[in-house]
Amino acid sequence: MFYLAEVEDYVRVEPKLFGLPTVEAVDQQLREIYSNYYDKELGRSVAVIEVLEVGEGIIIPGDGATYYNSRFKLLVWKPELQELVYGEIAEITKFGAFIDMGSMRGMIHISQTMDDFVSFSKTNVLSGKVSKRNLKQGDMCIARVVAISHKGEEPKIGLTMRQPGLGKLEWIKEDLIKKEKEAEKAERIAAKGEGKSEKKAKGEKKK
């Protein structure tokens, strides 16, 4: 989920930026610091939105940079359990698929790619035995976050596509059309049943 986060921190501005106005120097340094930055509590930094305030500079002996106590806004993306995510299949492996969600990647175990027995082919495609559905690199999908682990530098995000309304976009469309057809069929059967009941009632009245 995307958030606007307001952060206050001392920003270390390198000497190469000293020729710029202070706010601009802090802004450029922040963009460098928070490029691809991830924090367990904050999430993944997407962009520096605005520098709100810059205090007086502090110089530390032995360090050629200047430190400015600053307040700024960041656009961040933080994965949440049970959140729905949209993305592109970036890689297929024998144990599952990796989906690119824009800010991060998530992993879908082979058993969670579809509600079917799934096999991995030499052409890097995951195929359902009964449904004959295929999942390959480049497919656009909707998945749900079911696990988040913060072991290591990068978070590991576990996803599933076995629940209704999830999966490859083509599958979701197919399931929706199938559901609509089943609903129409049920309505026709119900209408025929009502018609027979009315004819029977009229027959009984004549008697």
Q: Does 89 lie in the same domain as 14?
A: no
Q: What is the pLDDT of residue 195?
A: 64
Tokens of 27: 């802004």
Question: How many other C-beta atoms lie within 10 A of the C-beta of residue 197?
Answer: 10
Q: What is the CATH number of the domain that holds 154?
A: 2.40.50.140
Task: Write phi, then psi, for 133 (nearest 5 degrees).
Answer: -80, 145
Beta pairing partners, 7: 72
**Residue 206 is assigned to a structural domain of this protein:** no
**Residue 135 is assigned to a structural domain of this protein:** yes
Full domain range(s) for residue 59: 2-77
The predicted-structure confidence for 11-49, as pLDDT tens digits, reads as follows 999 999 999 999 999 999 999 999 989 988 899 999 999
**Residue 32 is assigned to a structural domain of this protein:** yes
Cβ-contact 118, 127 below 8 angstroms:
yes
**Residue 198 is assigned to a structural domain of this protein:** no
**Residue 194 is assigned to a structural domain of this protein:** no
Q: What is the pLDDT of residue 199?
A: 60
Q: What is the CATH number of the domain that holds 22?
A: 3.30.1490.120
Domain count, the chain: 2
**Residue 207 is assigned to a structural domain of this protein:** no
pLDDT beneath 50, residues of the chain: none
Whole-number percent of the chain with pLDDT over 70: 93
Q: Does 144 lie in the same domain as 112?
A: yes
**Strand 156-160 relative to strand 105-109, pairing:** parallel
- Shortest CA distance to 35 belongs to which of 103, 87, 120? 103
**Residue 179 is assigned to a structural domain of this protein:** no
Q: Which of 77, 103, 134 is the C-terminal boundary of a domain?
A: 77
- Global pTM? 0.77
**Residue 116 is assigned to a structural domain of this protein:** yes
Q: What is the pLDDT of residue 206?
A: 58
Q: Does 162 lie in the same domain as 137?
A: yes
